[in-house]
Amino acid sequence: MQIAPRHFSSVQLRFMNIAVVTAGVADHATPLLILFVAEGETENTAEFGEVNQAISGQISAVLQKGDFRGREGQSVLLYPGEDALAAERLLLVGVGKRESLDAEKVRRAAGTAVKQALRVGVERATMILSGLRSESLGAAPVSRATAEGVTLGSYVFDELKTKQENNGTRKLGVIEILQTDGEDTDLLEEAVRLGRVVAEAENFARTLGNLPGNVATPAYLGQKAEEIASQFGMRATILGPAELREESMGALLAVSQGSDEEPRLIILEHQKGPAGSRPLLLVGKGLTFDSGGISIKPAQSMEEMKFDMCGGAAVLGAMRAIGELDIPINVIGVVPSSENLINGRAMKPGDVIKTHHGKTVEVVNTDAEGRLILADALSYIRRFNPAAIVDAATLTGACVIALGAHASAALGNDESLVEEIRQAGARAGQRVWPLPMFEEYRDQIKSEYADIKNSGGRPAGTITAAWFLREFVEETPWVHLDIAGTAYGDGKLPYLTKGSTGAPTRLFVEWVLARAG
């Protein structure tokens, strides 16, 4: 028996409350005080010295014995005693060498800290952030990255369990950031808010990605888009089968015809920029389950094909953050969504389909379906006269072979835009790496029977898939992100869990923020 999507229509994020508080280090009462310690420094900050002195040099003793060296990912829990500190417990978290600190290492340290706090079972924890700062990383960026790491690290997906992990075992609800040296409180609070909003949006995308295909259907994604529009004053347009036929979106309809689930083209418009200014377009593949179609995938790990909509989930998450932050720019999020299953109507290898653009495509592999639904979406959005387009898709296994799980591939028709996206990814902690798009690669998608075919074979598979998409963006500056290796995984980073990562939600928002100035 399948679980009806309506049973989970009220899936909600559980938010961590992050507050900036002003107090003395030694006399602030808290169940857990968290101190970040750099490797190789015996007394790296004034706060470190004050805490160490208050507990009679216990931190120095731990460092000298080598049980804890401040290396990245290390942590140790101390019980300072009733009269030493107002804090009941002291958690030391290593951050590695101070000179190598950046925003991503701060996120990871904060993720380590919050997961340890969850294991301890306290209801509130207090962080001292001075140990995370460096010459190139000031109080505001550290506070933002900490808020992101805390919010991402506290994420749990247990909505579909009859006994949720959060019931009776997970108490942590408040993280305090202790302000001790006279920084601008308003500035820190705004930095924390920015980090929290972006990370909550990414957690939203993670939840959409983790939901199974019998819950997160194309219609369900459309409902979530409408909720975002209602909450943040956007315009939502959801095209169903009838509207898609009117628009002659033959590629999206061809992919969906093997499923009983209806396809959707989801459009969210955030119009907060100057009147008439050309919008930025975010496009995400929303394939809610991919069996491969008649070119069927192997049974092993096929359950992971619920993650084939993670690009679309990231677009919805990013639009949620853009709306909540009320960024003064025009942004449109677009998600083509369908399933790719098998029935008597399913598209077949050898079929020729006509796209929204008018180009014909020979289907040589029904498992190369993501580029088909994206093709119609990329053609449709020309009506918005976009300033630039960035799309994200779990598109090719070849990308996983090339880059593994540590970077997404970036390919495009505008080198300056590719560099913009690379830099946004570096700032957001979601790295991308450019791949070439030499003209010779296009020859692999030439067809004897149609304008192009939907697969160029195994050699340079990521590049030829991008060339297919390029056929539909024409001259608009465009970057394609292949997130096949980064959209989901084993959760090895301190702020992640197994399953959907939410990538590239943070990258999308970072790019939009930079464009908004």
Query: Any idea which residues carry the catalytic annotation?
Result: 297, 371
Nearest to 150 by CA among 140, 142, 158, 139: 142
Contacts for 252 with CB less than 8 Å, ≥ 6 apart? 244, 263, 265, 336, 338, 356, 372, 373, 376, 377
The single-letter code of the amino acid at 5 is P
User: Is 125 in contact with 172 (CB distance < 8 Å)?
Assistant: yes
Q: How far is the CA of 36 from the CAs of 141, 192, 357, in angstroms? A: 16, 18, 55
Which tokens belong to 402?
């090339």
Q: How far is the CA of 449 from the CAs of 359, 362, 463, in angstroms? A: 12, 7, 22
State how far the Cα of 116 lies from the Cα of 130, in Å rounded to an integer: 19
- C-alpha 494 chain-centroid distance: 15
User: Is 107 in contact with 142 (CB distance < 8 Å)?
Assistant: no
Q: In angstroms, how far is the first alpha carbon of the chain from the final one?
A: 51
Q: Sign of the CA dihedral 245, 351, 482, 158?
A: positive
User: Is 125 in contact with 117 (CB distance < 8 Å)?
Assistant: yes
State how far the Cα of 344 lies from the Cα of 348, in Å rounded to an integer: 10
DSSP state, residue 298: P
Beta strands in 133-263 (DSSP E): 174-179, 235-239
Residue 26 CB-density burial (10 A; 0-12 exposed, 13-18 middle, 19+ buried)? middle
Burial 125-154 (b: 16+ CB within 10 A, else e): bbbbbbbbbbeebebbbbbbbbbbbbbbbb
